[in-house]
Amino acid sequence: MNNDFQNTQNDLELESMRQQMTTLKNKLNQQEIVNDHLMRHSMKKTVSDINRTYIWLIVIGLLMVPYGYWAFVKLTGFSMAFWIGTSILMLVCAGATYYNKTRVKDANLMTNNLVDVSRRMARAKKFDADWLFFGIPAIILWLGWFAYESYLIVGNIEQNWLMYGGIIGGIIGAICGFSIHFKTQRQYQDIIDQIEDITAEQ
């Protein structure tokens, strides 16, 4: 009889332990769901920041076409060829930015598989980095063309404040551009790192 009582007590203790383990597992699963949800919201906010940056860059690129005609041709007297070349450069930049923006916008962070989202972010990050191989030489050539156009108008290099002003403006623009570029690269990497953290836990 003592053995039966002991066995019953052991069974009750074992059942209690099973229930505690089940409760603990449910709590852990719930915590993982909450953490996953919070991290997806954080990543979604970062993606929204990237998209806003891209929208501003696209708008600036498009506005540079009519503004460039007024500033370079009408106001300064640069050649039509320079304005057309500048417009093409701005449209190419705006088009490339829009192309990369569509990759980021389509990544629904709240529902899509995170591995797929990570791949999409990595491709967008790489495209953004590779863009410098076109952007830097293009801006250098554009600044050289700007200096040549200003020389044709002013003539005197030493007193060519138009050229110096353009070069200074170009340097300031390049600093702003690099700042935006490196910030965007960090944001992409933050998203990729967060996804790696989530998938490593699963």
CA distances from 30 to 22, 25, 34 (A): 12, 9, 6
CA distances from 1 to 4, 5, 8, 11, 12 (A): 5, 6, 11, 15, 17
DSSP string spanning the chain? -HHHHHHHHHHHHHHHHHHHHHHHHHHHHHHHHHHHHHHHHHHHHHHHHHHHHHHHHHHHHHHHHHHHIIIIIIII---HHHHHHHHHHHHHHHHHHHHHHHHHHT--TTTS-HHHHHHHHHHHHHHHHHTHHHHHHHHHHHHHHHHHHHHHHH--STT-HHHHHHHHHHHHHHHHHHHHHHHHHHHHHHHHHHHHHHHHH-
Rg (CA), the chain: 29
Residue-wise pLDDT tens digits, 66-94: 999 998 898 888 999 999 999 999 999 99
pLDDT at 92: 95
Number of Cβ within a 10 Å radius of residue 32: 13
Lowest mean pLDDT among 76-80, 141-145, 167-171, 186-190: 167-171
Residue-wise pLDDT tens digits, 87-143: 999 999 999 999 998 888 765 655 667 778 888 889 999 999 999 999 899 988 998
pTM of the model as a whole: 0.75
User: Span 142-156, mean pLDDT?
Assistant: 84
CA distances from 13 to 1, 2, 3, 27 (A): 18, 16, 15, 21
In this prediction, residue 62 has a pLDDT band, given cuts at 50, 70 and 90, of very high
- What is the residue range of 108's domain? 2-201
Lowest mean pLDDT among 10-24, 132-146, 161-175, 183-197: 10-24
Q: Report the number of distinct structural domains present in the chain.
A: 1
Residue-wise pLDDT tens digits, 10-54: 555 565 566 666 655 555 455 555 566 667 777 788 888 999 999
